[in-house]
Structure 1
Amino acid sequence: MLQALRNKIHGWPAAVVLGICVFAVAFFGIESYFVSRVDTFVAKVDDHEISQQDWQNRLTELRQQLAATPNAPYTVADLEKPELKKQVLDGMINQVLLQKANTDLGLAVSDTAVRDAIGGDQGFQVDGRFDAGTYRAVLAQQGMSPAMYEAKVRTGLATQMLPEAIAATTLVSSADVDNFFRLHDQQRDLRYVSLPRPSLADASVADGDIDAFYKSHIADYTTPEQVSVQYLEVKQADLKVGEPTDEQLHQYYDKFKQRYAQPEQRLASHILVNVPKNATPEQQKAALEKAKKLAAEATPANFAKLAADSSDDLGSKRTGGDLGWLEKGVTNPAFDAALFAMKKGDVSKEPILSPDEGYHIIWLRDAREGDSKPFAEVRGQLASDWAKAEAERLYNEKAGQLADLAERNPGSLEPAAKELGLAIKTSPLFGHQGGEGIPQDPKFVQAAFADDVLNQGNNSSLVQIGKGDAIVLHMAKHNAAAPQALATVKDAIRQRILDERVDAQAKKQADELVAQLAKGGDLAALAKAPVQTAAGLSRNKLGEAKDVPPAVLREAFNLPRPAGGKPSWATVQVGNGTYAVVAVDKVTDGDPAKVEKAQRDALRGQMMDAMARAVTLEYIDALRAKAKIQVANDRM
């Protein structure tokens, strides 16, 4: 093309044209190589992106926690609901905002805090003490390295720094506690009368009224869209895993030998001299001099006492500076290098400086050399681990085959069923809200109503119902949403219209009665019905008032205090078109002086927690208002 241009244009016009071309490429064509990108974040907080992978990992963690928590407020299936997914993402956004605030305020999580948090986790303890072998084994099962887990713990601690600081400055006065108990232990005396359900003088309903009601409430008389699907299911729990041969176990042992090894470990104690963040030269010098003095004094005989008296590590000073058994990579590099260069029984003669903490004086109390457990000793564990891994391999293999066969034969499940020896199952009819059995799972429902399955008649892609449970489904029957015939629901509509007329008339009669009572009328005489009384009802024991309708109780404790010697009046619907008239005659506040100190202290703590949460949420709202937050709903 350029040669053709050259042949047709000569001299300065050619130079101008080529210059324009170069200019255009320089500022438009090449730029696109640098600025063109495809966003994949689920949310972006200023410059920080929350990736889809991070968000999915958080959902996976929550699923595992819910599955292992009896009586949890949510189920695993609930996490597929859009509103809960949004709550999870909002929580991750809040974490990012808090971490940014930490950075802005110069707050950081120390290595000591991370170590104390890990050491205090009972899941890593044996006989009440941190065990490095258990720590490594648990992390290996979760597919995490110590560095990955420590970063996760550090992030979690960082997220709590500001909320804990807010909580530490939250105050609840004695007057606040007194006011709570005055309200909590409040008692009320009330009267009420249940009014009879009125009768309609005219119970006729015109066909025109029925037709108009039907049209204006058509959604109430529409049969919802429903489907029934065929599906194939691969479950890891149903797969049979044979007994491993010695050769297979030896291969597994050689491949994962590190899981069955005892790493090199050191039993250590330390004394920490803290160096403040952004310390002045004078502060650094003072800390170093203090550390050198302690190092000169420290011996195995007096080390525990020195640590208890002088260490700035609050987590270990109570136990004489004891850090337990440590292995390489658990502490920071400077501490690590010094510790593993020492000999058993040594006390470091020079303080060791570690970032974000300060100076350490270390006493190496004992040492264990690393070694591997022999095959025979771990054969039982090997067989168990191999069987678990083999079951996962078989499941992934068969689930992959199912997905591939379903995609290659999109119009039917028969080929996949025949190839894999699976039975085609059929679900009952269910709607968008799910149904009994497997349609309870939101992912199953979502796949059934997806366009490729519902409208195009194709097999679905592989649906992971749960860990080790995969399904492919195909439409069997589809009932579109359709209004019920007016003739079918005519009688129900007539009764509904009559019921609404009765409700309106009952409400009007009750309101008129209250208006008369407010002027000084007598309840029994005006209501012409028996008056019920209940004295000394306590706000904190409403469940004990079995004879009083719940709606009457709720309204009685919502009413204002009686004033001017006159009761407070209200009407309340008690069900089935009937109303009650309620009067509160007397209100007696609880006596805070009768509350025991332990109960007061417990309440004060609860109120402080609640107030701290509220203030923290307000603080996060303020951070949100200042930040630029983008949420990609289409990637959730």
Structure 2
Amino acid sequence: MLQALRNKLHGWPTIIILGICVFAVAFFGIESYFMSQTDTYVAKVGKHEISQQAFQDRVNQLRREDSQRLGDQFDPSVYDTPAMKQRILDAMIDEQLLLQANEALGLKVSDTAVRESIAAIPAFQSDGHFDADAYRAALAGAGQTPAAFDADMRAALAMRLVPDALTASTLVTDDQLQRYLDLELQRRDLRYAVLPKPATVDATVSDAEIAAYYQAHLADFTTPERVAVKYLEVNGAELKVDAAPSDEALRKRYAQEQQRFLQPEQRLASHILISVPKNATAEQQKAALAKAEEIAKQANAANFAELAQKYSDDLGSKRQGGDLGWLEKGVANAAFDAALFAMHKGEISKPVLSDEGYHIIWLRDVRQGQVKPFEEVRAQLMQEETVGARERKYAELAGKLADETYRNPASLEPAAQSLGLPIKDSGWFGRDGGSGIAANPKVVQAAFSEDVLVRGNNSGLIEIAPNHAVVLHLDRHENAHPRPLDEVRDTVRQKILDERRREAAKNQAEALLARLRKGEDFATVAASAGAQIRDAREVLRMQPDVPAAIREAAFHLPHPAPGTAQWQAVAMPDGSYALLALDKVQGADPAKVDARERQMLREGMRRAYGEATTRDYLKALRQRIPVKIVAERL
């Protein structure tokens, strides 16, 4: 081909064409030999990429939380559905949109806000106050460091900056509040009469009618598919530990893990914050520094709390005279931390600059770091050793169970004999589950899987709860099948008669309703059917002394004109009918809603409006900030 091109192209045309080719290769093609980039993000928000790993981490986190919350009712397959994956991704996209909005608006989570939020968590409190020991113990139990938890808390608070600002700026007027009250606490005057069921209906039901009804409603008389399984169970809670650990073993572990029981140095501090606005001018910074220096000159141990209450811009601590409680390294921001842990007891610092502004710090007391003695943590070590031994025994037994049932997939007998486990029977259950282990969705899913149901193999090891697992094998199976007509003949006949009675009751009610709408007296109409009229005045939407069906129908009727009534026939749950007259509609009774209830309702409405505004704001952000989703990577 190249020779043919050479023969046909020569002279200056050849030079031009080859020059273009060389240019194209040089600038657009050759780089592909040296650079290779594969996109792996599941979504891109502006310039920020949400990676597959970050998305999967979020899915795993939510799956763990739901598993702990729902226990046996947890169905992990929910998280494999496209709808759930899209919901999780949408939430991550919204979070990123809010973070980018924070940056554009200059919003930032202060160290004070982080500190106050952590201190307000009940798990970190003792007698209603922040407890540093409880804080450290809780984080250690979760395998998290103070710095990492601080970052998580800061990120969580950052997500709320814009929504909280929108909610705070939302106004609920008195008119809006009253309109809501008038709807929610609306009062309706009504009269109703429950009609007796028709005394007689044609009780003759032919075989042809029974057969026709049976065929038309075959699904109602079909026994669903069901199975029964045999299973082997390992429950860690029921396993006995061979022997309690000796003091020697506990002391050895204490020596190896002594760092866990180290109480770090703590410092009792108070501060006065003179805030500096974000993007402050040089003059503003100078003014804030001058004010902080002047306060620092005046401050001493006797008047520090008074100065904090008067001048501090930290609303969370100024009411307590600037008291921050006991602090460890890493809890406050770096500049504050460095200054605090360089001070001597009783010392008051010069102004310390941080992202929030200038801090004047008073170090009131110091607790030196020390290791808790063995006697103090012995019970904890004993519990950990016992739990650990039980978990190890469970892991060993569950592992052997998985291996044995995999090597002998056609039966549970070899594993039962080898491990000394009894074979248990689940009893019958369908695809919607049953009782016992059949109440667990994972067990149901495995029982009806192709491997167990069709191929007759043992299931894999199914963890139905922490340290609790089963392996199951199909024992009995029945396909869905209609019950024979002869078996359900009486039931079919009764259903036909019930339908006739309902139809007769409906016809009777409609005939009586027509008389009422023509202007006939309600008492006369009700008496002709042997019914008694009941009056209900100022009925609310949730009033238990009025039948729910009548109450619901009454609140769906349009407002009646003065001096007239709105009429309706109402089907009751037992197959009877009632005649209903709506006479009057009134708004809320102001005397029954006190100021406190109004304020609570106003706050609830304000939050609801704020959430709606936030959703609208996120929609606007999606239109302004490009969002790209790669669904096939989910």
How would you bin the TM-score normalised by the shorter chain? Answer: 0.7 to 0.9
Q: What does residue 360 of structure 1 align with?
A: 359
Residue number in structure 1 paired with 2:576: 578
SS of the equivalent of 1:562 reads: coil
The corresponding residue for 2:137 is 137
- SS of the counterpart of 1:299? coil
Partner in structure 2 of residue 428 of structure 1? 427
Query: Which residue type is aligned with residue 476 of structure 2?
Result: K
Shift of 1:539: 0.7
1:82 aligns with 2:78: yes
Match of 1:314 in 2: 315
Supply the distance in 2 between the matched residues of 1:537 and 1:151 (Cα, whole angstroms): 55
> What's the CA shift for 1:431?
0.9
Please tell me whether the aligned partners of residues 403 and 461 of structure 1 are also in contact (alpha carbons under 8 angstroms): yes
The alpha carbon displacement at 1:282 in A equals: 3.6
Which moved further from structure 2: 99-108 or 324-333?
A: 99-108
Q: Tell me how far apart the structure 2 counterparts of residues 438 and 379 of structure 1 sit (CA, whole Å).
A: 38
The aligned amino acid for 1:100 is L
Equivalent position amino acid for 1:519 in 2: K
Contact residue 59 and residue 79 of structure 1 kept, 8 A:
no
| 566-575 or 338-347, which deviates more | 338-347
Q: Cα offset for 1:618?
A: 4.5
1:589-619, Cα deviation, whole Å (9 max, x unpaired): 4431564333333333333334334444454
Alpha-carbon contact 2:541-2:555 (below 8 Å) kept: no
User: 2:263 corresponds to which residue?
Assistant: 262
Report what 1:276 is aligned to.
277
Return the alpha-carbon distance in structure 2 between the equivalents of residues 257 and 380 of structure 1. 15
> Which stretch of the first structure deviates more once superposed, 198-207 or 360-369?
198-207
Equivalent residue number for residue 53 of structure 1? 57
Q: Taking structure 1 as reference, are residues 218 and 570 closer, same or farther at Cα in structure 2, changes over 3 Å only?
A: same
Q: 1:83 to 1:258 in 2, by over 3 A?
A: closer
Contact 2:416 2:423 in 1 (8 A): yes
The within-5 A match list for 1:302-451 is 302-349=303-350, 351-355=351-355, 357-451=356-450
- Asked whether the equivalents of residues 261 and 371 of structure 2 are also in contact (C-alpha less than 8 Å), the reply is yes
CA distance in 1, matches of 2:489, 2:633: 43
Inter-partner Cα distance in structure 2 for 1:413 and 1:621: 56
Pair 377,496 (structure 1): closer, same or farther in 2 beyond 3 Å: closer
* Secondary structure of the corresponding residue to residue 344 of structure 1: coil
* Aligned residue number for residue 3 of structure 1: none
Mapped to 2, the partners of 1:471 and 1:536 lie a distance apart of 60
Structure 2 partner of 1:103: 100
Aligned pair in 2 of structure 1 residues 623, 457: CA closer, same or farther (>3 Å)?
Answer: farther
Mapped contact 2:226–2:479 kept (Cα < 8 A): yes
Q: Residue 594 and residue 459 in structure 1: after superposition, are their counterparts in 2 closer, same or farther (change >3 A)?
A: closer
Q: Which residue of 2 aligns with 1:163?
A: 163
Structure-2 change in CA distance of 1:190 and 1:624 (3 Å): farther
SS at match of 2:469: strand
Partner of 2:254: 253
Q: Is this contact kept in 1: 2:274–2:312, CA < 8 A?
A: yes
* 1:450-504 per-position Cα deviation (integer Å, ceiling 9, x unaligned): 2222222222222221222122222222222223334433443344344334433
Pick one of 77, 91, 96 that aligns with 1:94: 91
SS at match of 2:430: coil
Deviates more, 1:483-492 or 1:466-475: 483-492
Aligned pairs for 1:9-20 within 5 A: none
Deviations 1:375-396 (A, max 9, x none): 2343233212222233233323
Q: Deviations over 1:563-583 (max 9, x none)?
A: 152211001111343211111
After TM superposition, give the deviation of residue 136 of structure 1 in Å: 1.0
Map of 1:485-564 to 2, 5 A cutoff? 485-527=484-526, 528-529=528-529, 530-539=531-540, 542-543=543-544, 545=545, 548-564=546-562
Deviation at 1:588, TM superposition (A): 4.3
Q: For residue 263 of structure 1, report the CA deviation from its aligned partner.
A: 1.0
Deviations 1:320-362 (A, max 9, x none): 221111112222222222221222222222x32333x222222
Report the residue type matching 1:262 in the other structure: Q
Given that 1:223 and 1:482 are in contact with CA atoms closer than 8 Å, whether structure 2 keeps it comes out as yes
> Measured at CA, do residues 139 and 463 of structure 1 come closer, stay the same or move farther in structure 2, by a change above 3 Å?
same
Q: Is the 8 A contact 1:192 1:583 kept in 2?
A: no
Q: Which residue of 1 aligns with 2:114?
A: 114
Contact 1:441–1:465 (8 Å) recurs in 2: yes
Give, as a single letter, the amino acid of the residue that structure 2 aligns with 1:454. L
Deviates further, 618-627 or 220-229? 618-627
TM-score w.r.t. structure 2 length?
Answer: 0.84
Query: Against the structure 1 CA distance between its residues 628 and 597, is the aligned structure 2 distance closer, same or farther, given a 3 Å change threshold?
Result: same
Partner of 2:240: 240
SS in 2 for 1:472: strand
* Residue aligning to 2:195: 194
Equivalent position SS for 1:227: strand
2:146 aligned residue: 146
2:543 counterpart SS class: helix
Deviation at 1:99, TM superposition (A): 4.5
CA shift, 1:552, in A, is: 2.1
Distance 1:99 1:294 in 2: 41
Letter in 1 for 2:275: N
Specify the alignment match of 2:12 in structure 1: none
Q: Residue type of the partner of 2:225?
A: E
Distance, in Å, in 2 between the alignment partners of 1:306 and 1:464 is 60
Looking at structure 2, the residues matched to 448 and 150 of structure 1 have their Cα atoms a distance apart, in angstroms, of 45
**RMSD across aligned C-alpha pairs, in angstroms?**
3.5
Distance, in Å, in 2 between the alignment partners of 1:218 and 1:619 is: 52
Give me the whole-angstrom Cα distance separating, in 2, the residues matched to 1:346 and 1:486: 94
* Unmatched tracts of structure 1, length 5 or more: 1-8, 67-73
1:483 and 1:139 map into 2 onto residues whose CA distance is 58
State the alpha-carbon separation in 1 of the partners of residues 202 and 238 from structure 2: 67
The reply to whether residue 453 of structure 1 matches residue 452 of structure 2 is yes
**Alpha-carbon deviation of 1:516?**
2.9
Whether the 8 Å contact between 1:98 and 1:162 is mirrored in structure 2 is no
Distance in 1, Cα, partners of 2:201 & 2:405: 63
CA 1:236–1:387: 2 relative to 1, 3 Å: same
Q: 1:634: Cα distance to partner?
A: 10
